[in-house]
Amino acid sequence: MTSLAKVLMVSLCVIYLALQWTSPTFDPESLRGARVLVTGASSGIGEQMAYHYARFGAQVVITARREKVLQQVVEKCLSLGAQKAVYIAADMSTDADPDRVVDFALEELGGLDYLVLNHIGPSYIRMWDGDHEQVQQLMKINFHSYVQMAGRALPFLERTGGALVVVSSVGGRVNTPCVAPYTSTKFALNGFFGSLRHELVMKRSNVSISICTLGLIDTASAMKHVREFTDMPAYPAADAALNIIITGATRQRELFYPWFTQ
Ligand SMILES: NC(=O)c1ccc[n+]([C@@H]2O[C@H](COP(=O)([O-])OP(=O)(O)OC[C@H]3O[C@@H](n4cnc5c(N)ncnc54)[C@H](OP(=O)(O)O)[C@@H]3O)[C@@H](O)[C@H]2O)c1
């Protein structure tokens, strides 16, 4: 190894350790009784987030389309220690449901501390064939519904000094072939919520925005689509979920999970 490489290695280690030491510490007690709305919580990372919030003793509202599965997730949340767990079945491809879900959570919880936006519509790994409707549909679910829910919830998050947590992807940072519709929705999220975060700072708002950039996670849906194309390691959904929750609770601007996605 050349001396320049050694200096670089040492510098990187120092920067990494400095970042570790200066990152805010997470107090699990801060989530006891917290009022949380998690979207896309019938499976994958959203489901795991619901369980973690439950273990921390939070009050959770979960949503997705499949009512039977949501019922089971709610039951498990209650058995894990959630102060409250309720669900609302909703379809984020409709105009009305994003607002309806926020209103339901506000009514059930009497306010909101965390809005965790995580759901995604169906995506495929293939070259774009000119289908504009699919892009529109995915934009509606993966992007417009996020913006709509954020707009509805922001005044209430202002009242509690709450947090907005947006689950995004490396696909929203790096152009990737064969996932153009999905990747566009994630770039849009990063653009919108990155700008909004600046505006909230300019307005001296007490609401934090955390944008969580994830690499490959071992959820059933991701594995189903990706496994025939790559054997790169997938990271555990439960661990990704915990990291997202900690990022929101400590009001950090960004999460990169696993760390090397940064
Ligand atoms: N897994 C990965 O490798 C990976 C990598 C990077 C980023 N991410 C991000 O992590 C988040 C979660 O991913 P995941 O792998 O956990 O996904 P997932 O298991 O496929 O879960 C998606 C969730 O969204 C819900 N959903 C789908 N269509 C909906 C609609 N029209 N209206 C309302 N809810 C709908 C699904 O429930 P219903 O079917 O019951 O509606 C489900 O609960 C996403 O934002 C994704 O982009 C994941």
**What's the token pair of residue 20?**
């570790």
pLDDT tens-place string over residues 78-95: 999 999 999 999 999 999
Residues with CB under 6 A from ligand 1: 40-46, 64-66, 69, 90-93, 118-121, 141, 167, 169, 214, 216-217, 219, 221-222
For residues 181-186, average pLDDT: 98
242 pLDDT tier (thresholds 50, 70, 90): very high
pLDDT score of 182 more than 80: yes
pTM: 0.94
- The residue whose C-alpha atom lies closest to atom 2 belonging to ligand 1 is 217
15 pLDDT tier (thresholds 50, 70, 90): low
Compute the mean pLDDT over every residue in the chain, rounded to the nearest whole number: 94
For residues 103-131, average pLDDT: 97
52 pLDDT tier (thresholds 50, 70, 90): very high
What are the domain boundaries of the chain? 31-124+131-257
Residues 6 or more apart in contact with residue 167 via CB below 8 angstroms:
40, 45, 116, 117, 118, 212, 214, 244
For domain 31-124+131-257, the CATH class is alpha beta
- The residue whose C-alpha atom lies closest to atom 34 belonging to ligand 1 is 64
Q: Which of 72-76, 170-174, 215-219, 229-233 has the lowest mean pLDDT?
A: 229-233
Residues 6 or more apart in contact with residue 242 via CB below 8 angstroms:
48, 52
Q: What percent of the chain has pLDDT over 70?
A: 95
pLDDT tens-place string over residues 16-51: 556 566 678 999 999 999 999 999 999 999 999 999
What are the start-end ranges of the H helices in the chain? 3-22, 44-55, 67-80, 97-109, 132-139, 145-160, 180-202, 220-226, 237-249
Q: Give me the helix-helix angle, 145-160 and 180-202, nearest 10°.
A: 30
51 a catalytic residue: no
